[in-house]
Amino acid sequence: MEKKIFNLDKKTEKNFALLNANIILPNKELKNSGLLIENKTIKDFGDHVNAKKLNNFEIIDCKGLTIAPGIVDLRVQIREPGQEHKETIKSASKSAVCGGITSFICLPNTNPVIDRPALINSIKRKAREVALAKIFCTGSITRDLKGKEISELQLMHESGALGFTDAIKAVADTRVMRRALTYAKSFDGLIIQHPEEISLSNEGVVNEGEISTRLGLKGIPSYTEAMMIQRDLWLVRETKSKYHASHISTSSAVQIIRQAKDEGLKVTCDTAPPYFVLNELAIENYRTFAKLSPPLRNESDRLAIIEGLKDGTIDAIVSDHTPQDQDAKRLPFNQAEYGAVGLETLLSLSLSLVKTYDLDICKVISLLTNNPAKIIGLRSGEIKKGAKADIIVFDSEKPWKINPEKFYSKSKNTPFDGMLVEGKNLMTFIDGRLVFDIR
Tell me, yes or no, if 320 is annotated catalytic: yes
User: 220, 334, 272: which is closest to 77 by C-alpha?
Assistant: 272
Q: What is the pLDDT of residue 9?
A: 84
Tens-digit pLDDT profile for residues 263-277: 999 999 999 999 999
Contacts of 428 (CB under 8 A, 6+ apart): 70, 97, 98, 100, 102, 391, 392, 393, 434, 435, 436, 437
For residue 305, name the pLDDT band (cuts at 50, 70, 90): very high
pLDDT value at residue 4:
75
pLDDT per position as a tens digit, 319-350? 999 999 999 999 999 999 999 999 999 999 99
How many whole angstroms separate alpha carbon 12 and alpha carbon 32? 28
Asked which of 52-61, 93-102, 248-257, 420-429 is least confident by mean pLDDT, the reply is 52-61
pLDDT at 55: 84
**What CA–CA distance (Å, rounded) separates 328 from 353?**
31
**Residues 105-161 pLDDT 10s:** 999 999 999 999 999 999 999 999 998 999 999 999 999 999 999 999 999 999 999
Percent of the chain with pLDDT strictly greater than 90: 95
pLDDT tens sequence across 69-80 = 999 999 999 999
Is residue 3 scored above 60 in pLDDT?
A: no
Of residues 28 and 53, which shows the higher confidence score? Answer: 28
Residues near 137 by beta carbon (within 8 Å), at least 6 away in sequence: 105, 106, 108, 114, 119, 120, 123, 124, 160, 161, 162
- The DSSP code sequence of 169-219 is S----HHHHHHHHHHHHTTT-EEEE----HHHHTT--EESSHHHHHHT--E
- Domains, the chain, in order of start with CATH, read 2-67+388-405+423-437 (2.30.40.10), 71-376 (3.20.20.140)
- In this predicted structure, the answer to whether residue 52 has a pLDDT above a threshold of 90 is no
Q: What is the rounded distance in angstroms from the CA atom of residue 275 to the CA atom of residue 306?
A: 9
- The reported pLDDT for the residue numbered 376 is 97
Q: Is the pLDDT of residue 173 over 70?
A: yes
When the pLDDT of each residue in the chain is averaged and rounded to a whole number, the result is: 96
What average pLDDT does range 363-386 have in this prediction? 97
Note the pLDDT of residue 54.
86
pTM as predicted: 0.97
Out of 320, 358, 395, 417, which one is annotated catalytic? 320
Percent of the chain scoring above 70 in pLDDT: 99
Across the range 427-432, mean pLDDT stands at 97
Residue 50 pLDDT level (bands cut at 50, 70, 90)? confident
CA distances (Å), 89 to each of 150, 219, 407, in order?
A: 27, 34, 15
Is the pLDDT score of 402 beyond 70?
Answer: yes
- Per-residue model confidence (pLDDT) at position 165: 98
Q: Which amino acid type is present at position 207?
A: N
pLDDT of residue 1: 39
